[in-house]
Chain A
Amino acid sequence: MQKSTTADTSPSAPIETVEFASDLGIRLRRSAEYVAVPLFALVTSGALFAVFLALIGKPPADFYSLLWRGGFGTAFSLQNTLQRAAPLILTALAMAIPARIGLIMIGGEGALVLSGFSAAAVALPLIGVAPKFVLLPVMAAAAIVVGALWVGLAGYLRHARGVNETISSLLLTYIAIAIMNFFVEGALRDPGSANKPSTFPIGDANMIGTIPGTDVHWGLAAGIVLCIALHFLMSRTTFGFAARITGGNPRAALAQGLPVGKLIVACSMIAGACAGVAGFFEIAAIHGRANASLAAGYGFTGILVAFLARHNPIAIIPVAIMFGGIAAAGGLIQRRMGLPDASVLVLQGLIFVVLLISETLYGRFAIFSGERSTSRT
């Protein structure tokens, strides 16, 4: 709404002093909103889950205290939590980076599985031949390249053929798992893995090991470093700026002559590379071999983490740790309360639904905008 409009607004007109509200103040208020709304969603879904527990006759207070003990309360549980958070950070990045350019890419699980398998597969001819410091980089490179190509394919199909990236990335996940199963149960199967078909192990000597003084593997460090690096890429580089224009308004991006297709494929490939790093660490730090355990659902939980973090790479770190804790506490809760293992999945699902509903709350509260709300007719 126009207030008092002075008509002479040519650039040559005498310049009046314009007083701006503090930039920092406005940015802080907006950031506060990004914290407050997801926090509200968390508390609400927690309360709803408490009702669910009460309905099935389990005391909610016990559940939440066990959740704390199993996830964060002891040094052991905390390390277990961080161990689980590492792949979640990376798969959440695989969701968050394409989201910044306007894509809902949910193929993190498939990219993780296929790149983990690729890492294990390229290691096979090198085991016992190449030293560890050669083997591990080769495995990592294979995982990153395969992951990048896998999600990059969904991005390419989106740009070149108009295929919906959400559908294609999801379907590519099933293809990825099928490819791994095909080789693991066939040509690359270790005959010694009777009950659980697997590839040959890369060997304990070749495992990547843990961060000194902890039981947590290096994937956590890699995830945190990538979060910080990608945060700067998206917010402080011309690439990130172009990606944000494209994500915010593709029509405006085209009108600015930006290479929208290349940006889409590039962001998809970065996403796939992140999932690839997760796949590499699952092999090199946890399993030592490729088998069905790779498809543990980290890719899917990562979607949830990214949404709760509002696709902000830095916010992904604490959110992933929280979800790592929920997963880590699952076993304890199951044993102590006689609850099925899936009950933590119910909690996760509730969080996701409440979070999506809470999206409508943004911009509704004047305290966060610092401006008079204006409505136009």
Chain B
Amino acid sequence: MTAAISTYASMPKPAARLATAPSLEAINMTKRFGSFTALDNVTMEVPAGQFHALLGENGAGKSTLVKCIMGFYHADEGDIRLNGREIKVGNPKDARANGIGMVYQHFTLVPSLTAAENLVINRADAPAVINWAAEKRRLEAFLETMPFRVPLDTPVSALAAGEKQKLEILKLLYLDQRFMILDEPTSVLTPGEADEILGLLKQMALKKEITVVIITHKFREVTQFADAVTVLRRGKHVGGGLVSELTTDQMARMMIGDTPIRATAERKAVPHDKPVLDLAGLYAEDQEGLPAIDGLNLTVHGGEIVGIAGVSGNGQSELVEVLSGQRPLQDGQITIHGQQFVPTRDHYDKFKVFGLPEEPLRNATVPRMTVAENMAFRAYDKPPMSVGWWLTPGPMRARARELIKAYRVKTTSPESPIENLSGGNVQRAVLARELSGSVDVLIVANPCFGLDFASVADIRAQIMEQRNRGAAVLLVSEDLDEVLELADRVAVMSEGKINYVSPVSATDRHTIGQYMAGH
């Protein structure tokens, strides 16, 4: 028990929470979905003022645990104690009333409203008629007490990602939610912004103003900022303790377990002087008709992986959509081997262009169609899967069985809907479909997002193998580590342009980070 708790008990209720960090314990939490146990008797103890990291692979149960604490789910078993006293969190409102708040992976601000408006409308007791002059004065006074501030009168849409993230955190503080859960808060930030924000939070935690639980899978953030760590694997608590007493290697082993990880595929010395994919002066618009790709030039050679790094939302997904025919090109030219390329079925086949899009269930499959049908998307209209217009399901199923075995896709049957497969297996099924033939150009976008370690290593090895065979690989990734691991050259995308290209060996994280921020 810390001093903060005894103070809390002796003070009148609402005022007590002001400027004091609460402690929280989630004890023996179990959550089942049907016959599947997402959370199995997990205990996490976070003393007041601690910066606590919650580590685990995707699907390890991190989200389930915090959703139980936030009241989105009801744990089947287990207790939550705030400042040593048991609380009932039946819904998100209860969490809020107890001063527990969360910053989500994606922004939850209203883009068209100003920072001030966003803060005030989120107050549970926001009046029907708002006296803005008075509210502004109060907000200013509130910001005075904060270690950082954001412009109050700018619409949120005009703020940079780092400012938005600060505003999300200010929102929690404004609502007096001093137990903060941050779900991968740095995925939308440049390395510089991430360090700044985590540093500020760390200082507040040190002053016992807040208690922080951060969900992350970046060890760098854990070792640099966190005091303690809880590691989950397959719904179970598999370890934890003070960060100062653990090595990165130990934490990684807790996360992964005994699963052997395939070594990174060897980068073979292949000649890569022949330009294959050439993007010249590309322009495209986003959903709102604003320029998303704004004069982009890039060349990818055969036998080379060019990794596009960038803060998410700088036109990367639009670029992938343009290359995969999901978004019209306003201007510019895509050429492959010197010939113009248009994303139609004929050209995909003629130029041997293949793709591993991000979120394969959304971009590369029809969730309700079977695994066999999904695996036939590239070849269903060619012999032997069809004769003229007529489909022949026999060869389609036979081919699916071959691919399922060769790529070890875990499915009960080729006839199961592909939506029943886990994320890693969906990606493997798409991989099997796209990479089983001869590949000249490969477009890859965030291929490992949300996958477990084993699948990640596997999929990266496959991409490297295509490069070694001489394919021109364009890799778009929000994970800078992935770019640095796989790419031969790194290109930084900022505001719809490529503003920096360099061989990976001749650059570093810091330089790339500065270009990501648009400098």
The answer to whether B424 and A256 touch across the interface, beta carbons within 8 angstroms, is: no
Instruction: List chain B residues, Cβ under 8 A from A11.
Output: 406-407, 436
Q: Contacts A1-B422, A21-B413, A377-B63 given: A10-B462 contact, CB under 8 Å?
A: yes
Q: Which of A124-132, A247-255, A274-282, A308-316 contacts B (4 or more CB under 8 A)?
A: A247-255
Contact pick for B36, options A21, A22, A23, A374, CB 8 Å: A374
Q: Contacts A237-B389, A245-B377, A252-B364 given: A8-B34 contact, CB under 8 Å?
A: no
Q: Contacts A3-B410, A5-B454, A376-B59 given: A23-B415 contact, CB under 8 Å?
A: yes
Looking at the assembled complex, report how far the CB atom of A134 sits from the nearest CB atom of chain B, in whole angstroms.
32
Q: Contacts A20-B414, A26-B415, A375-B34 given: A7-B407 contact, CB under 8 Å?
A: no
Contact pick for A15, options B381, B405, B412, CB 8 Å: B405
The answer to whether A376 and B462 touch across the interface, beta carbons within 8 angstroms, is: no
Looking at the assembled complex, report how far the CB atom of A234 sits from the nearest CB atom of chain B, in whole angstroms.
11
Query: How many inter-chain contacts with C-beta < 8 Å in the A-B complex?
Result: 166
- Whether a CB of chain A sits under 8 angstroms from the CB of B368 is yes
Interface residues of B in 377-414 (CB under 8 A from A): 377-378, 380-381, 386, 389-391, 393, 397, 401, 404-408, 410-414
**Bound state CA distance, A20 and B165, in angstroms?**
47
Instruction: List chain B residues, Cβ under 8 A from A251.
Output: 326, 362-363
Query: Whose C-beta in chain A lies nearest to the C-beta of B391?
Result: A236
Query: Whose C-beta in chain B lies nearest to the C-beta of A8?
Result: B262
- Whether a CB of chain A sits under 8 angstroms from the CB of B325 is yes
The answer to whether A6 and B408 touch across the interface, beta carbons within 8 angstroms, is: yes
Looking at the assembled complex, report how far the CB atom of B252 sits from the nearest CB atom of chain A, in whole angstroms.
14
The answer to whether B413 and A2 touch across the interface, beta carbons within 8 angstroms, is: no
Looking at the assembled complex, report how far the CB atom of B406 sits from the nearest CB atom of chain A, in whole angstroms.
4
- Whether a CB of chain B sits under 8 angstroms from the CB of A204 is no
- Whether a CB of chain A sits under 8 angstroms from the CB of B223 is no
Interface residues on B, range: 35 or more
Kindly supply a per-residue 1/0 record for chain A positions 229-257, scoring 1 wherever the CB is within 8 Å of any chain B CB and 0 otherwise.
00000001111111011001101101111
Instruction: List chain A residues, Cβ under 8 A from B343.
Output: 254, 257
Q: Which of B14-22, B113-121, B345-353, B482-490 contacts A (4 or more CB under 8 A)?
A: B345-353
**Bound state CA distance, A28 and B380, in angstroms?**
24
The answer to whether B454 and A7 touch across the interface, beta carbons within 8 angstroms, is: yes
**Bound state CA distance, A236 and B385, in angstroms?**
11
The answer to whether B59 and A9 touch across the interface, beta carbons within 8 angstroms, is: no
**Bound state CA distance, A248 and B363, in angstroms?**
11
Q: Contacts A9-B408, A256-B377, A373-B35 given: A20-B260 contact, CB under 8 Å?
A: no
Instruction: List chain A residues, Cβ under 8 A from B294.
Output: none
Looking at the assembled complex, report how far the CB atom of B512 sits from the nearest CB atom of chain A, in whole angstroms.
29
Task: List B residues at the A interface (Cβ < 8 Å).
Answer: 33-36, 38, 59, 61-64, 67, 234, 259-262, 324-326, 343-348, 355, 357, 362-369, 373, 376-378, 380-381, 386, 389-391, 393, 397, 401, 404-408, 410-416, 420, 422-424, 428, 436, 452, 454-455, 457-458, 461-462, 465
11 residue pairs from A and B, CB less than 8 Å apart: A1-B234, A3-B410, A7-B261, A7-B262, A240-B391, A242-B381, A255-B325, A257-B347, A258-B345, A370-B412, A372-B35
